[in-house]
Amino acid sequence: MKIKRLLTFSVSLFIAVASFAQTKTPVVKTDAGLVSGMIDGNINIFKGIPFAAPPVGELRWKAPQPVQPWNDVKKCDEFGASPMQASPAPFSMWSEEFLIRKEPISENCLYLNVWTSSTSSNKKLPVLVWIYGGGFSSGGANVPIYDGEAMAKKGIVFVSINYRVGIFGFFAHPDLTKESGYNASGNYGLLDQIAALKWVQKNIAAFGGDANNVTIAGQSAGSMSVNCLVASPLAKGLFNKAIAESGANLISGAFGSRTLQQAEEDGVKTASSLHANSVGDLRKMSATELMKVQGIRGGPIVDGYVLPEPIGEIFASNKENNVSLLTGWNENEGLMFGQVKKADDFKKQMEQQYGNDAQTALQYYPATNDSIASASQYDLSRDIIFGVQNYTWANVESGQGSKVYVYHFTRKVPGTGQYAKYGAFHTGEVPYAYDNLKFVNRSWEDVDHKLADVMSSYWVNFIKTGNPNGKNLPDWKAYNTKDKQVMILGTTQQSQPLKDAAQLDFIYSKMKAQ
């Protein structure tokens, strides 16, 4: 009898353990097959779900193709590989928490990740799709500060996606244009993003999400990508709100202004440098060989397909996709691509660059001594690369009647050693906005945790309703071209008129005239 009771107890225990294990392995049906994830607390997490076929071999430099369906349950509890790029290493203000993991990195990179509090198709939670930055030459979804659990706990479905970068994501060539079927080439990274958004439309209901309430969000090149997607007719109907942090392409600049002809010419030069006689030869080369090519201009292309016209013209003609917009930039995110000049040299540069308007420029960016001139150069860089782009986007959208909310992030991110000198630096707002301070090894203060709670609440409210305001939050006034109210996100949070409006108007006028 004792043996029988012991066997009965053992079987019951086995069933209980098995049942418990099952609750720790959520399974969801996608259009390509079943996927299993994992549970952390009350959040279901799925990592490394393929949303397109691996873009390798003959699929290198092709629009993303459908995933090959599978029969068994696909285990999705680890991030897929990041796209091909140089191995990451901390530099400048970016410690390792702001970078992808060193491994794996592969051409086979078209995967996405989902964090959700529900896998009921009846839930209809609002959805955020996160697009990483990295200058269109680096980045990936597995960066610690892009974790989606905290946002999922606040009631949204958080999706992060991979897309091809560098030569694999933005390489154009006349032969690729001919074979494409749509008479264009080069915007493979943007096509990856669109493919991921289409996956969301088909599958997100099974993860508790509402396909009719999707926000796209990104920072830096991710923000520029958001700008491209809002402009692209191929992305119509895939989202209804946009969050753009420090990056857009409204005025000609480094990204988003190359024509297809220019990009194809660059591609021919690249092929020649690799001693390749055809695209077929290029496809036979290893990814490592292609990575050796230096000086490739990357980023979106005005290809007549993904981007039928320059982005500024699309917006000026009110042809963009209709969205509510939350956008802004940071106080100290100027990026210098050369040596900082002494005061006298900076004055000469301003005189050469702005001619008769040099004195006006020097009022906004003074050079009364070397220290002040140094700060002015960083401020000028901030305004040219980021500020004027997002400012122009806010002006255009609000002028056309869209709901727009603008922020200015001013909190000096705590840091010691080499990181102590950076203030509200480029990317510094991301761990606050997505409530991920815990992933960053900094000496956080109470004010930082409060700011992270406030910012992530604003972001979640916007994702849910298109309005960041909510209970127990400082009032965030909507932006318009008359009052130009922006939300200051720093040690305190308050709406106030944009203090930099005059200098941004000046920069806009000069860049527009080029």
**pLDDT tens column, 115-127:** 999 999 899 999 9
Distances in Å between the Cα of 364 and the Cα atoms of 334, 384, 418 are 15, 13, 29
**Whether the predicted pLDDT of 4 surpasses 70:** no
Q: Distance between CA 169 and CA 62 in Å, rounded?
A: 10
Element (H, E) at 80: none
Tell me the β-bridge partners of 282: none
Domains of the chain, start order? 23-513 (3.40.50.1820)
Note the pLDDT of residue 42.
94
Band the pLDDT of 15: cuts 50, 70, 90: very low
Checking if the pLDDT of 2 tops 90, the result is no
- C-beta separation of 31 from 202 below 8 A: yes
Average of pLDDT values for 91-100? 92
| Residues known to be catalytic | 220, 333, 426
Window from 14-23, 77-86, 353-362 with minimum mean pLDDT: 14-23
Predicted pLDDT at 10: 41
DSSP per-residue letters across 443-501: ---HHHHHHHHHHHHHHHHHHHHS----TTS---PPP-TTT-EEEEESSSEEEEE-TTH
pTM score, whole prediction: 0.94
User: In DSSP terms, which residues pair with 34 in a beta bridge?
Assistant: 29
pLDDT tier at 20, thresholds 50, 70, 90: very low
> Region 253-264: what's the mean pLDDT?
83
Query: CB of 317 within 8 A of CB of 311?
Result: no
pLDDT at 218 over 90: yes
pLDDT tens-digit series, residues 436-447: 999 999 999 999
